[in-house]
Amino acid sequence: MRSRPAALALAVLAVLAVSHGILAQTVGSQGAAKASVTDLTGVWRRSRRPPDNARRYTVFELAYSLTVDEPPMTPWAEEKFNAARPSIGPHEVPLSKSNDPVSKCFPPGVPRIYLQRGLPMEIMQIPGRVVMLFEYDHFVRQIFTDGRQHVQDMPPSWMGDSIGKWEGNTLVVDTTGFNDKTWLDLVGHPHTDALHLVERLRRVSHDTMTIDISIDDPKAYTRPWVSHSVYELKPEWTIGEVICEDDAGFTCMEKMLEPGK
């Protein structure tokens, strides 16, 4: 390089950038007791805290959907939503009449996996990856933090292709590559294979993490919209086993509880 000061500045910047990355990894490996803000390690459970005190919120709004208000659906999405027959929630139908893919044990996809059965997830950080292990059916999300770009030559998948980078104390996760076979939530809001999620994960205190999810899918929604969630650390919990097919074998209460007996 001809300009020595510029070369020096570039070298200094490069060293700083690399060492920030190393520092984040090193500090993050010390465990939750000395958690740095860039350490999301732990078992987390989504809080059902209402967003404000404006009114009482139903459990359906807090636990079954991504936002309290309806998202800005296109006519295409409205038609799909009206055709959804969820097996739980305010518009539930008997399980045998539901067209919810999860009722047949298909993967819930993202972001629905966050809502699934109110169950916890565990975040583990290893070099080059942030791994989320969900108690529901042991689904795993791998968020690659090694600088790779999205895959271009693979077919769409149920859980999408996630890459992440730290912006200060926020992990920004970009996910594309979804198939269109899942519901966004438990009540049947739809999406297409053009779904693009940007999640911002931030540990705001030792015991609390916020996840803000921006949902962009122009055929389904007239503009991007954001879901805010708060997660509580559960240091005494370990991820257990919840298997979707156990629902399938659980027929002994169905007859007893059917309406109109």
Partner 1 sequence: MRVKPWAPVLLAVVFVVVRAPLFAHHGSASYDINKLMTLKGTVTDFQFMNPHSEIFINANDSAGKSQEWVVEGLGVSTMSRVGWTKNILKAGDQVTITGNPARNGSHAMRLKKIVLPSGKELALQSAEDYAGQ
Chain positions contacting partner 1, by CB under 8 A: 48, 59-60, 62-64, 87-89, 92, 94-96, 103-105, 115-119, 135, 186, 236-237, 239-243, 246-261
With a CB cutoff of 8 Å and minimum separation 6, the contacts of 255 are: none
Residue closer to partner 1, measured from CB, 91 or 148: 91
Residue closer to partner 1, measured from CB, 113 or 171: 113
Between vectors from CA 190 to CA 186 and to CA 193, what angle results, nearest 5°? 125
Residue 245 C-beta: closest distance to partner 1, Å: 9
Residue 250 C-beta: closest distance to partner 1, Å: 5
Residue 136 phi/psi, 5-degree rounding, is -65, 110
Between vectors from CA 241 to CA 126 and to CA 108, what angle results, nearest 5°? 75
Residue 249 phi/psi, 5-degree rounding, is -90, -5
Residue closer to partner 1, measured from CB, 27 or 63: 63
Given its phi and psi angles, is residue 147 left (phi above 0), alpha (psi -120 to 50 degrees) or beta?
left
Sign of the CA dihedral running 19, 23, 24, 29? positive
Residue 63 C-beta: closest distance to partner 1, Å: 4
Residue closer to partner 1, measured from CB, 52 or 245: 245
With a CB cutoff of 8 Å and minimum separation 6, the contacts of 2 are: none
Residue 187 C-beta: closest distance to partner 1, Å: 11
Residue 56 C-beta: closest distance to partner 1, Å: 11
Rounded (10°) CA dihedral 213, 217, 223, 229: -20
Residue 60 C-beta: closest distance to partner 1, Å: 8
Report the alpha-carbon distance of residue 145 to residue 162 in Å, rounded.
Answer: 9
Residue closer to partner 1, measured from CB, 43 or 163: 43
Residue closer to partner 1, measured from CB, 172 or 242: 242
